[in-house]
């Protein structure tokens, strides 16, 4: 059973829904329905058979029963296809039911369903990352000339402006989002290859069916099935981890600036948030906590998918099967981190006088170098990217 008490503090309802049980089943059933429609169009199965299969894909099966059956079978596809065949057989007989899932394999269903979920998740990631980038750009512009103490190796260094620090945050998020878009464009593609990736058993019409599948599902069509080539999934996971790390960098800096001894910037005050169960005076950076927790988890999740790259022969054992839950975790953590950090930046409380006092106490002068010009260049680059 999923646990909202475990998952919700780290993510958002929207992303949890994208990778929830109902969404997975809808994606899997969509694959089967569209496969039947494509086979009808190519004359591989009769129209009435295709209509029967599509009708069988409308109602979601019971999740708990299906989960138990999938655990026993070793894959979701086996019990799900069995349910569809039972539904078709009840109205049209066993011969018609046997045409459900024709020419496909369990990994085709699993991979394409995961990609469809990732596609929906990617749209949420882009929206939230764009929101964060916009508020970072506005903050950098506002404080392009605000002097503060620059710190290296956690020690006082030379003066900078707060706008330059924020421009660095913006650069990290913007570059990570561009990397994510590149990896998503590669990874969001159809998987359809049949038992061994040779597209056997479809009377020479498999390529035409694959083209129709990809078009109908709005996914890219790869040159060949990618059952045992998992680099695109690993690349997408790595891009998510890097994006989470970029948000974690922002959270780290804000948490350090909010320390009592520094007191230069604080998360916005929100009723019921950031307090302590025993110390009423505390103002904890709760949004930073969420983002930093995600940044600690993400690298190890991405490494799991990198470790699964050497898969055996035409379809591997154990490697691709781990990708669904791990990729879901990365999407959920990324969206959770982005979603908490945007309002933190929007309402960030900045003590300009404290920044000036800390800078004066360090006795390092007031020369901020080319900070303002660098902020302007960073903002120009960001706006050009958009």
Would you say 161 and 355 are in contact if contact means Cβ atoms under 8 Å apart?
A: no
**Whose CA is closest to 249, among 160, 169, 133?**
169
Cβ–Cβ under 8 Å, residues 375 and 167? yes
**Residue 8 among the catalytic residues:** no
Residue 6 has pLDDT above 90, yes or no: no
Other Cβ atoms within 10 Å of 204 Cβ, number: 9
pTM (2 d.p.): 0.94
Q: Which of 198, 276, 307, 377 is catalytic?
A: 276
Mean pLDDT, residues 58-84: 96
pLDDT on residue 278: 47
Indicate the SS3 state at residue 207: helix
- pLDDT at residue number 277: 43
Q: How much is the pLDDT for 273?
A: 57
What pLDDT band is residue 279 in, cutting at 50, 70 and 90? very low
For the cut 70, the answer to whether the pLDDT of residue 352 exceeds it is yes
| pLDDT in the model for residue 333 | 97
User: Across 32-178, where does the E strand assignment appear?
Assistant: 147-152, 155-161
Note if 276 is an active site residue: yes
DSSP string computed for 153-202: TTEEEEEEEHHHHHHHHHHHHHHHHHHHHHHHHHH-B-----TTSS--SS
Q: Are 63 and 25 in contact (CB under 8 A)?
A: yes
* pLDDT tier, 271 (very low <50, low <70, confident <90, very high otherwise): low
Terminal CA-to-CA distance of the chain, rounded, Å? 41
51 pLDDT exceeds 80? yes
- Tens of pLDDT, residues 289-316: 999 999 999 999 999 999 999 999 999 9
Structural domains of the chain in order of their starting residue, each with its CATH number: 10-104+193-223 (1.10.275.10), 105-189+226-386 (1.20.200.10)
Q: What pLDDT is attached to residue 280? A: 47
Candidate list 87, 189, 230, 315, residue with the active-site label: 315
| Over residues 317-339, mean pLDDT | 96
Tally of CB atoms within 10 A around 12: 18
d(CA 33, CA 51): 9
pLDDT score of 282 more than 90 = no
pLDDT at res. 262? 96
Is the pLDDT at 227 greater than 60, yes or no? yes
Average pLDDT, the chain: 94
Pairwise CA distance, residues 110 & 116, whole Å? 10
User: At 196, is the pLDDT very low, low, confident or very high (cuts 50, 70, 90)?
Assistant: very high
Question: Could you identify the residue written with the tokens 């020419």?
Answer: 103
């Amino acid at each position: 059973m999923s646990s909202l008490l475990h998952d919700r503090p780290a993510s958002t309802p929207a992303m949890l829904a994208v990778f929830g049980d109902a969404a997975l089943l809808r994606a899997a059933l969509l694959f089967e329905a569209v496969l039947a429609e494509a086979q009808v169009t190519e004359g591989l199965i009769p129209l009435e058979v295709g209509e029967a299969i599509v009708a069988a894909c409308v109602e979601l099966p019971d999740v708990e029963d299906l989960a138990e059956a999938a655990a026993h079978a070793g894959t979701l596809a086996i019990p799900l296809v069995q349910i569809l065949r039972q539904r078709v057989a009840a109205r049209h007989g066993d011969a018609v039911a046997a045409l459900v899932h024709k020419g496909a394999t369990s990994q085709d269903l699993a991979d394409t369903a995961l990609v469809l979920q990732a596609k929906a998740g990617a749209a949420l990631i882009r929206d939230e990352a764009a929101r964060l980038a916009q508020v970072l750009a506005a903050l950098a512009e506002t404080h392009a000339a605000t002097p503060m103490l620059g710190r290296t190796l956690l020690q006082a260094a030379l003066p900078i402006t707060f706008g330059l620090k924020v421009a660095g945050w913006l650069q990290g998020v913007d570059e990570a989002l561009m990397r994510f878009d590149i990896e998503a464009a590669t990874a969001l593609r159809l998987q359809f290859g049949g038992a061994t990736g040779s597209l056997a058993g479809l009377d020479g019409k498999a390529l035409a069916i694959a083209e129709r599948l990809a078009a109908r599902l709005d996914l890219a069509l790869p040159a060949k099935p990618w059952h045992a080539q998992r680099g695109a999934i690993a690349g997408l996971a790595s891009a998510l981890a890097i994006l989470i790390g970029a948000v974690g960098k922002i959270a780290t800096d804000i948490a350090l600036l909010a320390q009592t001894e520094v007191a230069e910037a604080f998360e916005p005050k929100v009723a019921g948030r950031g307090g302590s169960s025993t110390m009423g005076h505390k103002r904890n950076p709760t949004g930073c906590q969420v983002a930093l927790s995600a940044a600690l988890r993400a690298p190890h999740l991405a490494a799991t998918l990198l470790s699964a790259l050497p898969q055996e022969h035409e379809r591997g054992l154990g490697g691709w099967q781990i990708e669904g839950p791990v990729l879901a975790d990365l999407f959920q953590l990324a969206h959770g981190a982005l979603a908490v950090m945007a309002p933190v930046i929007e309402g960030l409380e900045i003590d300009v006088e404290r920044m000036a006092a800390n800078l004066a106490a360090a006795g390092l002068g007031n020369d901020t170098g080319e900070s303002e010009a660098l902020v302007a260049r960073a903002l120009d680059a960001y706006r050009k990217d958009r």
